[in-house]
Amino acid sequence: MPGPFEIVRTKLAGSYFLACFGGEGRVVVDGQSKRCGPGQAFLLPPGTLQRFYTRQTEPWRFAWVRFQEQKGQQPIAAANSPVLADYDPEPLRLAVEGLYHECRHENSAVEVERWATLIEGYVRRFAEPRQLDERIWKLWQVVEADLGAAWNSQLMAREVHLGEKQLERLCLRELGRTPRQQLIWLRMRRAAELLAEGDRKVASIAIEVGYQNPFVFSTTFKRCIGWPPSEHSARVRRAARRKNTGR
């Protein structure tokens, strides 16, 4: 993409993955703008605002994949998936070019399926890192099971017998987020799931995911997801209708 440009998506269906192999751009993660340059990739889960852009005149070169997860299907982005991290984009780039060539010229359904499977595997290599530190994996499994608890950096570090600074370094290295940012993301993701059901009050959901103050919860939700919690259920329904009608 030649710069400058900006892409903003508010449709809720599907995870989005982008791997950069040239130029430089920015991606909004948890309400903050972060750099994405060569040898880096980011993975945005469904149900969140997708915004990325570059102010540079040099083209931002990247390969991207957008998933269309079905209702009830586990998203590519799991609790322990990195958000923005180092990544070798070359295998993915070549696979996407292979798929593009097949669709334009040969268009064999069997070969298209093979290319698509290969591409999904390269994305999962990022989303499901095999070398994830066991202590980090254990911590977020425990936290995700009890998001309403009064978690803080000290309690989370104690859970896995680490110092607070050591835990922060590990989380930044493994997930691209601080422990506090990861906790907020897990809470907002759970809240989005509960809000999508459409039969719960915002204040009740806020308490369930660890916020005693509904105003603080609403402000945080809007910053991370892109819109107020009061709008979330309606947005999910509109996205489902668009998907069903092919619009």
Structure tokens belonging to residue 115: 């290319």
pLDDT tens readout for residues 169-194: 988 888 878 999 889 989 998 998 89
Domain boundaries defined on the chain: 5-127, 134-239
Q: How far apart are alpha carbons 51 and 39 in whole angstroms?
A: 20
Architecture of domain 5-127: Sandwich (2.60)
Cα dist from 42 to 62, 119, 123, whole Å? 11, 15, 10
The predicted structure's pLDDT at residue 226: 80
Q: How far apart are alpha carbons 12 and 237 in whole angstroms?
A: 10
Strand partners, 9: 50
Contact between 209 and 143 under an 8 Å Cβ cutoff? The reply is no
The predicted structure's pLDDT at residue 132: 65
The predicted structure's pLDDT at residue 247: 55
The CATH homologous superfamily to which domain 134-239 belongs is Homeodomain-like (1.10.10.60)
CA 149 to chain centre: 23
Closest-CA residue to 115 (of 92, 128, 98, 101): 98
Please provide the DSSP assignment of 5-25 as one string: EEEEE---SS-EEEEEEES-E
Q: Residue 120 is which amino acid?
A: E
What parts of the chain have a pLDDT lower than 50?
none
The predicted structure's pLDDT at residue 12: 61
Cα angle vertex 50, ends 48, 54, to 5°?
155
pTM (global) more than 0.75: no
Closest-CA residue to 230 (of 219, 241, 246): 219
